Structures are given as structure tokens and as C-alpha cells.
């Protein structure tokens, strides 16, 4: 059984090679052509790049765009569906320019478009993707500037669809478009009755933040009719939440959305597009189930349910099939990027040892604990209870000044020795007391990992999302150290809380023991959606250096670094917090000069200290190891 679940969450892109290294097959058309992740990391290091780094596999991004578009095209052909698929990529999922450009380029043959949800996003999409056949869907709450920019897009002959989320947006749009003499294409976002499941369930239902109720939709139609603008209403939109884990909710949403579309068409609304929003899930934990970090369906099944579901309702209601739009973001980008970093140390309760030999006049608690060290014949639960109680008494005694530091160190060493002993002796096949089950966690090491959860994996902290974490080499060796991964922020929340272990989700995971003088690289995978762009600068750890990897078309299995985007320096993060780093450097120099004048620092050394401070300002915010 495969410990880290790579084959399950890897979606065909990631596997483990015979050499024990993670292999990547980035092109879905060439599943047997792989590149070796360890070689990629070595090349990155040879370029002088410090870890942690984000590695983007642009070929995976292209593959995902192709797979989604081609699956829709094939299913539409098989179903004899009488319209086409014109998807859009919601840039909020990953606004990095290079990501958006790659998606536009890969999507060009399919007229794949973009979706924006704010003014800055709209300004970005206006400057990209000039394909006049592709859609630009505008969601989110809008003010007059947002709407004016959207009308500018119409002037540029773009198929820009302004999706009305609130009735008042239409009241703003109508006079504006008349004043500017630019006719909008209007979409209506429906507040759905179906309740999705999972972390984003509140995107639908009565209390949803977005969309128009049926009553409001009818009011919108009345207003459009009154203003002689009903012909502008071309799209019906819904979105019931991201990461839909249960296909039954997808089917329900499609049934509800398609019925609403059909009824509106029958009322005379000239809708041409049905936009089913995002929500196509990712199997982050590899369980193919309805957990929040998984999905119980394939992309093919999702697409078939959409195409056949809409067709069935439209045929029954005798209305034309609409063009299908989807706004999948997670499914397009999640696989293409990962964070590679190194383990910089191990924090181990059982690690520090003190000589426990008896000393004359030692406290009775110390002697009692020593008896437990030799208490191999005791019942494990009783031995554990006694050890825990002696430890507690020792703590109380220390506070009262009864125990010395040496005695505390002895008690501590013995306590962890006893716990390890109990843990090793447990017969896991038989019943084990719950407290003893927890020994695994208590004894697990913490591997200190050179990254910040808050910058690189925000959802693991915020919503308990599972992301695969795997060593990128040595996978042909049995990992023998049970550990959890903690980051380098000064925050006890800065840790990964859930790990994929076989088909289970565990609180800790076996990793390999660290070897002196050898780097141990781990990858945090599937970080391309949201995680890449949502992170914050907690503790002033900045954005990571990014490395963009492409594969050679003519040399299968070979790759090259196409671009390096350097991470934020200490200087840059400080400046975003309003520090003036020139002033800081000058001030520190002034302080150093003062000490030089006083004779506390030699002049030459003073220059070196000044240069060193300036060098660190221009350097990475992460640990250099
Ligand atoms: N469209 C809308 C309106 C959204 O709110 C979202 C995200 O929640 C998406 C698309 C993207 O969803 P996903 O990344 O799950 O495909």
C-alpha cells in the first residue's frame, strides 16, 4: 500500500519512480514521459536559488485546460447537445500574470475566457485575452467604475457579460449604459435553493451572500422590459460553492439551474448561455470520497452530469440548448504548482537525555520514577498513569522549590523513556486504551520546515484543508520517524494538522530520519489554486521565489527553467509595512559609527557590520540553510 497516496491524489501527474524520487508526467497526452522532481530541485539549487520555492509546471496547467475543454467537447458531441462549451477561468483562484497568460494561450483553440470578480481583476482581464469569441464574465459586487470599465470592454468588441448580483446594480447600469451609449450584455446570477455541502456550502441557500431570488429575477426582467433592454439578458449564472465533494449536489444544482433557464426562456428572456459557476472539486486527500478535501466523482462524470442534465430539462421544456459556461478555477490550477522546501531541524520530546543514575539523597519522586523505568512487567495503562502522576507532582514540587534542576532533568528523561517503552510494547492488534493511543502523537517528532503556513498553505490553517506533503526522494526507503510538520513562524498555529497516510487522514506521518550534512526536501503539493495567492506575510515571511518549468517538446523527459521570479526580500516586506529601509540602513550605520568612535568596534569591523546589515535587507526572508 502506498503510504503518501501519491498515485491517488496525483491525478496521473505525480508518481513515485523506481529510484525513490517523485516523478512528474506533466503532459496528459504523453503519460509515460516523466521528469524527475529531484533533478528539478537540483537544477533550481544550481541556479543559486534558496528554498523554499514555488515550482510551477506550466505543462500541467496547459493539460488541465485541455482536459476540461476537450471533455466538454467530446461529451457534447456524444450527447448530440446542440450548443457549445465556452468556459472561463476565474482569475481570483490564481491571478499570477504568468498563470493567466498560460491559461489564455492553452485555451485559445477552445475560445476559453476569463472571469473577474473585482475592479483590479477586471482591469487585468481587460488587458489580456483579446479573443473576440471568448467570454469575459464579470461577477462580484459592482460600483459605477466597475460597470464603466465593463462597458469599455464592450467598446473593445469583447464579449463582456455583466452578471447582476443585486437589483441595485441594474438600476446603476441602465442609466450608465444609456449615458455612454454602450449596450451591455447582461447575466443574471440566481440565488440557488440547493444547499451544497462542505466548506463553501453558504454560497447557496436563502442566506447566500450572492445572487437574485426568483422574485428579484422577475423584477429584473420587468425593469429590463420597461427600459427596452430585455434583449441584453443573455446569461443565467449560478454557483453553489467551491470544492463540491458530492456529485449528487452537482446534479441537483444542474437540475435547478436548467429548469430556471428553461422557464425564463419560455417567459421570453433571450438567454443564450447557462453558466454553472465553479465548484469542480479536487481529490486533495486521495480518498475519492465526500470529505471536504476530496470528491466522489471524476471530471468526466461531472461534465456528463452537466451536459446530459441540461439537455434533458431543455428537451422536456422544449427550449433551445444553451451554450454551457463553467468557471472552474481550482480544477484548472491546483495541480500545477507545489512548494518545495527543506527540513531544517527536528524537535523531539525524547531527544534530550540526562544521566539518570541514582544520586545520594535524591527526592523520592525521582526514585519512584526510576522504578517505573524498570517496570516492564506492569500493565501499560497503570505504568502510564503512574508516570503521568509523578510528572505532575514533580512540576508542583519544582514550583515550590523542592526539586532541583538536575532532578527535574532526570525526571523528564525518565518520563519520556517510559512513554517510548510503553508505546513500543503496545499490541496494536488488540484493544488499546484511548489515552495510550494518544502516545503516538505525544512521542511524534516535529520536523521544522523552512516555510510559512500562512504564506504558502493558508487553507490548511484557516479551514483544515488537507494538502499532500511528501518527501521528494528516498521514497524507496521505509520512513521510520513519526512526525508532524511545523513551520518557522513564531506561531504555534504554524503547523500542518492533517496528513495523508495510506487511505487514512492522520495527525502525524512517518518521514525519513534526517541525515547529517544531507538536505531532506519535502514538497507540499496541489497548491496552485488559492494557496498560491491568498497567503499573508505573518511574521514578515514574504512571497516565495517562483521557478517556472517547461518540458522540451522535442526531447521527451527533459525540462528547462523558463523563468525565475525572485521572492520578496526583507527590504520589500518591510517597505509594505511602511518602513523606510534607506532610513533604517542609515540609522544602523550611524549607531555602528558611534560605537566605532567610542572604540567599541574596530573601524574595519564597523564597515563589515554595515555591509552585512544592508546585505540582509536585500536577502530572502526565509532561513538560509
Ligand atoms: N465562480 C464563482 C462565482 C466563485 O465564487 C468561485 C469560487 O468560489 C469560482 C467561480 C471558482 O470556483 P472553483 O475554484 O471551485 O472552481
Residue 136 · residue 159 · CB < 8 Å: yes
- pLDDT in the model for residue 436: 73
**Range with the lowest mean pLDDT among 275-279, 381-385, 468-472?**
381-385
> What ipTM goes with this model?
0.99
Residue range 371-398: average pLDDT?
A: 94
Tell how strand 323-325 and strand 337-347 pair up: unpaired
Question: Which residue, judged by its Cα, is nearest atom 4 of ligand 1?
Answer: 278
Task: Verify cis geometry, omega within 30 degrees of 0, for the bond prior to 184.
Answer: no
Atom of ligand 1 minimally distant from the CA of 328: 16
Atom of ligand 1 minimally distant from the CA of 200: 8
Question: Which residue, judged by its Cα, is nearest atom 8 of ligand 1?
Answer: 242
- pLDDT in the model for residue 342: 97
Read off φ and ψ for residue 454, nearest 5 degrees.
Answer: -70, -25
**pLDDT for 30 beyond 70:** yes
Distance 387 CA to ligand 1 centre (A): 52
Residue 41 · residue 340 · CB < 8 Å: yes
Distance 199 CA to ligand 1 centre (A): 13
Distance CA 337, CA 418 (A): 43
Residue range 550-554: average pLDDT?
A: 82
Q: At what angle do helices 581-598 and 603-617 cross, to 10 degrees?
A: 160
Say whether 449 is catalytic: no
Most confident of 1-10, 86-95, 419-428: 86-95
Distance 500 CA to ligand 1 centre (A): 26
Distance 93 CA to ligand 1 centre (A): 8
Question: Which residue, judged by its Cα, is nearest atom 11 of ligand 1?
Answer: 278
Owner of C-alpha cell 495567492:
533
Question: Would you state the cell numbers that stand for residue 57, as one nine-digit string?
Answer: 509546471
Domains of the chain (ranges, CATH numbers): 56-328 (3.20.20.10), 364-439 (1.20.58.930), 571-617 (no CATH)
- pLDDT in the model for residue 370: 96
**pLDDT for 201 beyond 80:** no
Question: Which residue, judged by its Cα, is nearest atom 6 of ligand 1?
Answer: 278
Question: Which residue, judged by its Cα, is nearest atom 7 of ligand 1?
Answer: 242
Question: Which residue, judged by its Cα, is nearest atom 9 of ligand 1?
Answer: 278
Distance CA 587, CA 225 (A): 68
Residue 170 · residue 223 · CB < 8 Å: yes
Pocket probe for ligand 1: among 242, 293, 326, 534, the residue whose CB has the most ligand atoms within 8 Å is 242
Where residue 51 falls (left for φ over 0; alpha for ψ -120 to 50; beta otherwise) is: beta
Q: How far is CA 117 from the centre of its chain?
A: 19
Distance, first Cα to last Cα, the chain? 34
Please report, for residues 19, 20, 515, 552, 616, the alpha-carbon distance to residue 477 in angstroms, rounded to integers and kept in the order given.
10, 8, 13, 31, 38
Question: Which residue, judged by its Cα, is nearest atom 10 of ligand 1?
Answer: 278
Q: Taking the alpha carbons of 197, 203, 208, 213 in that order, is the dihedral positive or negative?
A: negative
Closest CA to 453 of 491, 505, 484: 491
- pLDDT in the model for residue 414: 96
Q: Of all residues in the chain, what percent carry a pLDDT higher than 70?
A: 99
* The one catalytic residue among 232, 449, 483, 490: 490
pLDDT in tens, 224-259: 999 999 999 999 999 999 999 999 999 999 999 999
Pocket probe for ligand 1: among 64, 65, 88, 90, the residue whose CB has the most ligand atoms within 8 Å is 90
Distance 493 CA to ligand 1 centre (A): 27
Atom of ligand 1 minimally distant from the CA of 117: 3
**pLDDT for 1 beyond 60:** no
**pLDDT for 428 beyond 70:** no
Q: For residue 544, how many other CB atoms are within 10 A of its CB?
A: 29
**pLDDT for 199 beyond 90:** no
Owner of C-alpha cell 534530550:
352
Q: For residue 274, how many other CB atoms are within 10 A of its CB?
A: 26
- pLDDT in the model for residue 210: 82
Mean predicted lDDT score pLDDT of the chain: 95
Pocket probe for ligand 1: among 94, 113, 239, the residue whose CB has the most ligand atoms within 8 Å is 239
**pLDDT for 261 beyond 90:** yes
- pLDDT in the model for residue 553: 72
Pocket probe for ligand 1: among 89, 92, 190, the residue whose CB has the most ligand atoms within 8 Å is 92
- Beta pairing partners, 280: 244
Distance CA 14, CA 36 (A): 10
Distance 430 CA to ligand 1 centre (A): 47
Residue range 514-534: average pLDDT?
A: 95
- pLDDT in the model for residue 434: 73
Protein residues with CB under 6 Å of any ligand 1 atom: 90, 93, 139, 239, 242-243, 277-280, 327-331, 529
Atom of ligand 1 minimally distant from the CA of 529: 14
Task: Verify cis geometry, omega within 30 degrees of 0, for the bond prior to 52.
Answer: yes
Helix or strand or coil: residue 384?
helix
H-run or E-run covering 180:
helix 167-180
Q: Of all residues in the chain, what percent carry a pLDDT higher than 90?
A: 90
Distance 39 CA to ligand 1 centre (A): 35
Distance 490 CA to ligand 1 centre (A): 33
Confidence band (pLDDT; 50, 70, 90) for 351?
A: confident
Amino acid at each position: 500500500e502506498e503510504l503518501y497516496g501519491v498515485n491517488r491524489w496525483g491525478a496521473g501527474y505525480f508518481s513515485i519512480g523506481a529510484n525513490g524520487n517523485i516523478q512528474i508526467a506533466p503532459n496528459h497526452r504523453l503519460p509515460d514521459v516523466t521528469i524527475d522532481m529531484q533533478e528539478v530541485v537540483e537544477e533550481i539549487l544550481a541556479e543559486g536559488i534558496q528554498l523554499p520555492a514555488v515550482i510551477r509546471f506550466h505543462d500541467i496547467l496547459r493539460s488541465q485546460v485541455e482536459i476540461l475543454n476537450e471533455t466538454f467537447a467530446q461529451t457534447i458531441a456524444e450527447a448530440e447537445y446542440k450548443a457549445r462549451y465556452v468556459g472561463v477561468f476565474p482569475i481570483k483562484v490564481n491571478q499570477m500574470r504568468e498563470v493567466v497568460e498560460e491559461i489564455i494561450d492553452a485555451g485559445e483553440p477552445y475560445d476559453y475566457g476569463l472571469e473577474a470578480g473585482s475592479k483590479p481583476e477586471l482591469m487585468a482581464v481587460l488587458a489580456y485575452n483579446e479573443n473576440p469569441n471568448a467570454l469575459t464574465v464579470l461577477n462580484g459586487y459592482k460600483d459605477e467604475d466597475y460597470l464603466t470599465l465593463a462597458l469599455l470592454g464592450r467598446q473593445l468588441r469583447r464579449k463582456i457579460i455583466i452578471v447582476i448580483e443585486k437589483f441595485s446594480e441594474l438600476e446603476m447600469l441602465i442609466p450608465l449604459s444609456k449615458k455612454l451609449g454602450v449596450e451591455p450584455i447582461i447575466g443574471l446570477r440566481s440565488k440557488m435553493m440547493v444547499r451544497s455541502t462542505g466548506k463553501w456550502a453558504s454560497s447557496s441557500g436563502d442566506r447566500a451572500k450572492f445572487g437574485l431570488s426568483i422574485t428579484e429575477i422577475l423584477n429584473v426582467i420587468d425593469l429590463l422590459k420597461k427600459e427596452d433592454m430585455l434583449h441584453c439578458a443573455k446569461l443565467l449564472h449560478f454557483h453553489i460553492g467551491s470544492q463540491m465533494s458530492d456529485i449528487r449536489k452537482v446534479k441537483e444544482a444542474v437540475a435547478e439551474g436548467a429548469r430556471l433557464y428553461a422557464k425564463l426562456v419560455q417567459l421570453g428572456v433571450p438567454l443564450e448561455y447557462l453558466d454553472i459557476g465553479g465548484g469542480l472539486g479536487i481529490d486533495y486527500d486521495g480518498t475519492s470520497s465526500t470529505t471536504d478535501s476530496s470528491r466522489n466523482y471524476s471530471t468526466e462524470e461531472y461534465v456528463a452530469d452537466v451536459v446530459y442534465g441540461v439537455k434533458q430539462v431543455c428537451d422536456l421544456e422544449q427550449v433551445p440548448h444553451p451554450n454551457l459556461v463553467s468557471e472552474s478555477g481550482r480544477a484548472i490550477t491546483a495541480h500545477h504548482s507545489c512548494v518545495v522546501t527543506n527540513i531544517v531541524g527536528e524537535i523531539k520530546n525524547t531527544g534530550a537525555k540526562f544521566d539518570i543514575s541514582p544520586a545520594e539523597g535524591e527526592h523520592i519522586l525521582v526514585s519512584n520514577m526510576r522504578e517505573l523505568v524498570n517496570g516492564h512487567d506492569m500493565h501499560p495503562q497503570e505504568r502510564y498513569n503512574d508516570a503521568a502522576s509523578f510528572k505532575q507532582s514533580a512540576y508542583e514540587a519544582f514550583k515550590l522549590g523542592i526539586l532541583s534542576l538536575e532532578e527535574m532533568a532526570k525526571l523528564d528523561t525518565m518520563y519520556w523513556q517510559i512513554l517510548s517503552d510503553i508505546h513500543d510494547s503496545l499490541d496494536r492488534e488488540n484493544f488499546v486504551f484511548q489515552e495510550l493511543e494518544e502516545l503516538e502523537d505525544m512521542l511524534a517528532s516535529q520536523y521544522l520546515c523552512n516555510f510559512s503556513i500562512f504564506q504558502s498553505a493558508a487553507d490548511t490553517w484557516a479551514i483544515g484543508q488537507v494538502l499532500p506533503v511528501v518527501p521528494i526522494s528516498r521514497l524507496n526507503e521505509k520512513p521510520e520517524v513519526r512526525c508532524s510538520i511545523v513551520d518557522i513562524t513564531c506561531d504555534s498555529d504554524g503547523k500542518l494538522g492533517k496528513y495523508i497516510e495510506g487511505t487514512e487522514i492522520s495527525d502525524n506521518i512517518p518521514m525519513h530520519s534526517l541525515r547529517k550534512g544531507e538536505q531532506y526536501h519535502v514538497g507540499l503539493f496541489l497548491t496552485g489554486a488559492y494557496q498560491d495567492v491568498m497567503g499573508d506575510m505573518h511574521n514578515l515571511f514574504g512571497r516565495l521565489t517562483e521557478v517556472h518549468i517547461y518540458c522540451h517538446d522535442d526531447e521527451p523527459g527533459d525540462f528547462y527553467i523558463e523563468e525565475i521570479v525572485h521572492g520578496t526580500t526583507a527590504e520589500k516586506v518591510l517597505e509594505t509595512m511602511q518602513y523606510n529601509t534607506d532610513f533604517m540602513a542609515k540609522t544602523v550605520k550611524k549607531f555602528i559609527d558611534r560605537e566605532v568612535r567610542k572604540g567599541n568596534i574596530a573601524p574595519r569591523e564597523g564597515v563589515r557590520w554595515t555591509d552585512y546589515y544592508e546585505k540582509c535587507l536585500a536577502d530572502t526572508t526565509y532561513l538560509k540553510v
